[in-house]
Amino acid sequence: MPQQNNIRARLPLAAFFCASTLLAGLVALPASAQENTAKGPQSQRTPDEKWGVSLSVENDLFVENNQDRHFTNGVRLAFISPEDSAPADFLNVAKEVPFFASNGRIRTSYALGQSMFTPSDIEIADNQPNDRPWAGYLYGSVGLLSDTGLGYEGHEDYARIDTLELTLGVVGPASLAEQSQKFVHKLIDSPEPKGWDNQIKNEPVIGISYERKYRGWAKQELLGVEADLTPSAGFTLGNGFTNAEVGAMARIGVDLPADYGPPRIRPSLPGSDFFKPDTEGFPLSGYLFAGVVGRAVARDITLDGNTFADSNSVDKKPLVGDLQVGFAVIVGEARITYTHVYRTKEFYGQNGTDQFGAISLSMRF
């Protein structure tokens, strides 16, 4: 048992070191990069000059038995800048990352979010050591998105987007998850959650995430109905969350917009907070989508418990899968999406798989 505890302690420390090293590289740029102005993108298409805002809410309210359990709620508000409006220092950062597509049109993203996790029965005040720990997570993030658009040089059949994101947050009572859940439950006359005294302790969280997605693979069109495939891969390094994932999403609809699927709260099958409607068609379009993702999980603080303090924890499963289905409707400069998610068991002894719904509303201005 002591050996297992040592291994468990070293894993998040190593992840934290990797994330800190990447963060240092982002902040402390080489002098030559700081002195030079950022070069323009190689993409020759006209940049999108509109801002975007996206609000996403994920909750198990949408399942049939309407039961709070495990990942029970998440909310995230994101702002996306116009293309090519990022500060020169941000663009120089992108060019220092060898795997980041700095030859695309670059946007900056800013997001605030909160997620909460509970055992299966929230009306039990006593500790439930064999169920998922009570945990809240409050965070903010800033990122760079590089979108090549369809038809970029050498790859005329599909588009590529790279996302590089730094997240800072906190778990524990400071996340305010207890207050949020009790307030909402009182507002909607739901059972009072009574076990928050057993939540994991306060701990700052830092993480670096990178994702790559390709839009337009296997494109088909018949009688005005379009279809395409968006494969994706990515990883997150940090003391809170360390994982790697690979997945794909298929879309079928009319006048498919320039997006990469609906926005989701991590960990998830990635989408995009921004979208660009097909301006040549009728100002109403939409699509159906389905996707799968597999995730290798090395660290999840909401399951593993605190890094440097004793707290409740469970034995997590190293591999987790998501299946999602849903629809998106685009009206003018607005997009609304609904996603239903089926998630495999995340820890040993878990009573059944999980499912929840996700609604997002995005606007361009």
Please, what are the domains in the chain? 2-364 (2.40.128.140)
pLDDT in tens, 112-127: 999 999 999 999 999 9
The helix or strand, by DSSP H or E, that contains position 28, with its residue range, turns out to be none
- The pLDDT value recorded for residue 250 is 96
**Residue in 137, 120, 243 with CA at minimum distance from that of residue 200:** 137
- The pLDDT value recorded for residue 17 is 44
Output the CA–CA distances (angstroms, integers) from residue 28 to 13, 23, 90, in the order listed.
22, 8, 12
pLDDT in tens, 190-218: 899 999 999 999 999 999 999 999 988 88
CA distance 280 to 48: 15
- The pLDDT value recorded for residue 65 is 63
- The pLDDT value recorded for residue 281 is 59
- The pLDDT value recorded for residue 253 is 94
CA distance 36 to 350: 54
- The pLDDT value recorded for residue 265 is 93
Output helix, strand, coil percentages for the chain, rounded to the nearest 5. 20, 45, 40
CA distance 142 to 123: 37
- The pLDDT value recorded for residue 216 is 83
**Residue in 10, 57, 34, 82 with CA at minimum distance from that of residue 361:** 57
CA distance 65 to 307: 34
CA distance 133 to 186: 22
Low-confidence ranges of the chain (pLDDT < 70): 1-45, 64-66, 102, 150-157, 279-282
CB 171 within 8 A of CB 137: yes
- The pLDDT value recorded for residue 43 is 55
- Tell me the pTM: 0.86
* Main-chain phi, psi angles of 111, to 5 degrees: -145, 150
68: its two tokens: 């709070």
CB 109 within 8 A of CB 80: yes
**Residue in 275, 223, 225, 295 with CA at minimum distance from that of residue 254:** 225
CB 279 within 8 A of CB 320: no
* Main-chain phi, psi angles of 60, to 5 degrees: -80, 5
